[in-house]
Amino acid sequence: MIIGDIVNGIVIDHIKVGQGEEIYHALELDKLDAMVIVLHNATSAAMGHKDVIKFDKIIDLDLDKLSYIAPGVTVSVIKGGEVVVSEELELPERLVNVVQCRNPRCITSVEQELAHEFRLANREKRVYRCIYCESEA
């Protein structure tokens, strides 16, 4: 199968098999007024198989949300048929309004205008803790 090149757009590559749909919905790409391609189970020399998302529009992606969901993915911005930016994402040190605190006694449950902010507590285990109550995300 051959998928055409993108002249201006974004490619999210090196997605674990099966995570493509989750990323598609989390980033709300279904609301994007552009062609969006989600490849499932594509052959990869490095990963064996992977998912890939391509779309022909340059937008501001929520990279914190994306890197939280799928650390290790590569985001490439393409302009004029050339890759102008390519970045492998890692877990962010902090998350703001990406996930909500589940502790019903947390100040964020009462004070609705407060941001839900978490800091990375353990990179290997992917543990984030609320900056207000220390609950795990």
Whether the CB-CB separation of 10 and 54 falls below 8 Å is answered with: yes
CB atoms within 10 A of CB 116: 18
Selection from 27, 32, 33, 37 nearest residue 4 by Cα: 37
Q: What is the CATH number of domain 9-88?
A: 3.30.70.140
Domain ranges for the chain: 9-88, 94-130
**For residue 101, what pLDDT is reported?**
96
Q: Note the pTM of the prediction, 2 decimals.
A: 0.87
Section 9-13 average pLDDT: 96
Instruction: Return the pLDDT at 124.
Output: 95
pLDDT above 70 for 7: yes
Higher local confidence (pLDDT), 3 or 118: 118
Q: How buried is residue 11: exposed, middle or buried, by Cβ count under 10 Å (0-12/13-18/19+)?
A: middle
Residue 3 pLDDT class (50, 70, 90 cuts): low
